[in-house]
Amino acid sequence: MSCPAFETWLEALDGGLDAPDGAHERCASCARSSSDAAGWLRVVRESPPSPVASSGEFVARVVGKRLRRASRVGVVAMAAVAIGVVLSIRHLPVDEEPPVARGGDFEVCEVHEVSPGGTVRTVRDGDRVAADASLGFTVRNPGAEAAYLGVYGISATGRVGWFHPAYADASVNPELVRLDPGDLRTLPEQVALPLGPGAVRVVCWRSERQWRVVEADAAIERAAAAAGRPVEVERVPDLGGRQEGVLLWFGDTR
């Protein structure tokens, strides 16, 4: 049984329908999508407009969720950390165009700081960002085959946190984000991780094979633990693939 996607529910409810075609009665998945879509529409309709001012290099409106995720110190500690996860959601109207992307000189991803007011700037290696900065990502797969994306951060103290995919619960082991051949797009979530204050290495990793995050996370933590300065870990050999990163400073002082 195939249930309508969340976006289909969103479009149907926004159009005044009770349910989209293909919805199922007494179906937990459909009920969840219906409830989520109704909640998102309430947020959109009750919130004042907040247009995104794009820089010349940021290639899209950043739509969807602004999330605050917990970082972790080892898998064992994740369950306790997950209790502190705070979610903050901001949406543009559903009739806006979907995010689009233009070309750039990056190979895996471009990193953007998104202010609470919606202003976007592309960040470079060594840039300072707000202590609680939300980051957005424009990602690329120039290859002729599907690839898989992970975006994580390593703090100066060796803490590891995942921007994409979401990973803040020890009971969840998500797969990397699939990138279709030729993909160039802006991911629809802006994510804040409590990895600062201070230096944080943000790494975009594109793999030719699919990984589960727990396996990849263990390799990253080993590399961070073995490094004299974890933020200098620019590449984790066990992961392979293409790895790009920027070293950002979270907060006002150095």
Distance CA 199, CA 251 (A): 9
pLDDT of residue 42: 61
Say which DSSP state 14 is in: H
pLDDT of residue 109: 93
* The dihedral formed by the CA atoms of 40, 19, 14 and 90, expressed in degrees to the nearest 10: 10
pLDDT of residue 122: 93
pLDDT of residue 25: 82
pTM for this prediction: 0.63
For 192, residues 6+ apart whose C-beta sits below 8 A from its C-beta are 66, 67, 68, 69, 132, 133, 134, 135
- Judged by DSSP in three states, 177 sits in strand
CA distances from 21 to 4, 33, 47, 98, 176 (A): 8, 13, 29, 22, 30
pLDDT of residue 69: 57
Nearest to 112 by CA among 183, 178, 163: 163
Q: Tell me which residues of the chain have a pLDDT lower than 50.
A: 43-44, 46-66, 70-103
According to DSSP, the β-strands at 120-122 and 109-114 are antiparallel
pLDDT of residue 186: 92
pLDDT tens for residues 7-59? 676 678 877 888 888 888 888 777 777 876 676 556 445 433 333 333 333 33
Nearest to 226 by CA among 154, 164, 149, 126: 154
pLDDT of residue 138: 94
